């Protein structure tokens, strides 16, 4: 199941973010020919366990646009740095989802 999560996350383009729930919904709706019953929490666990630098885990945020406090290396600071480098903007401490939410 983690493999399928990583496949979806790799599709999030630079300058966009997705929510954990969006990824779970895509898996539940069967984008790969099978419906996988997964929760947003499971998506978070998968991203936390990821060791492949080609999976842009930093592009996944919670439904409110908040960053992951347990993001690799320097937590939220590193995730925010990576998002800023891709042109993602924030409203206070949250990603501007109106502007940057991946809609496909």
Q: Is 30 a catalytic residue?
A: no
Please give the structure tokens belonging to residue 100: 């940057």
pTM above 0.85, yes or no: yes
User: 41: domain range?
Assistant: 2-100
Q: Which of 57, 60, 67, 88 is catalytic?
A: 57
Average pLDDT value for residue range 15-34: 83
The domain total for the chain is: 1
Mean pLDDT of the chain: 89
**Spatial contact of 20 and 12, defined as CB atoms under 8 Å apart:** no
How confident is the model at residue 72, as a pLDDT? 60
- Which domain CATH number covers 60? 1.10.10.10
Radius of gyration of the chain (CA): 13
Render pLDDT for 26-73 as a digit per residue (tens, 0 to 9). 888 765 555 677 899 999 999 999 989 999 999 999 999 999 877 666
């Amino acid at each position: 199941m983690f493999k399928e999560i990583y496949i979806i996350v790799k599709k999030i383009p630079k300058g966009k973010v997705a929510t954990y729930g969006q990824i779970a919904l895509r898996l539940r709706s069967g984008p790969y020919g099978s419906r996988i019953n997964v929760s947003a929490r499971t998506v978070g666990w998968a991203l936390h366990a990821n060791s492949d630098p080609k999976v842009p885990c930093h592009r996944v945020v919670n439904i409110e646009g908040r960053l992951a406090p347990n993001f690799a290396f320097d937590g939220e600071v590193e995730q925010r740095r990576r998002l800023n480098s891709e042109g993602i903007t924030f409203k206070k401490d949250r990603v501007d989802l109106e502007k940057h939410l991946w809609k496909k």
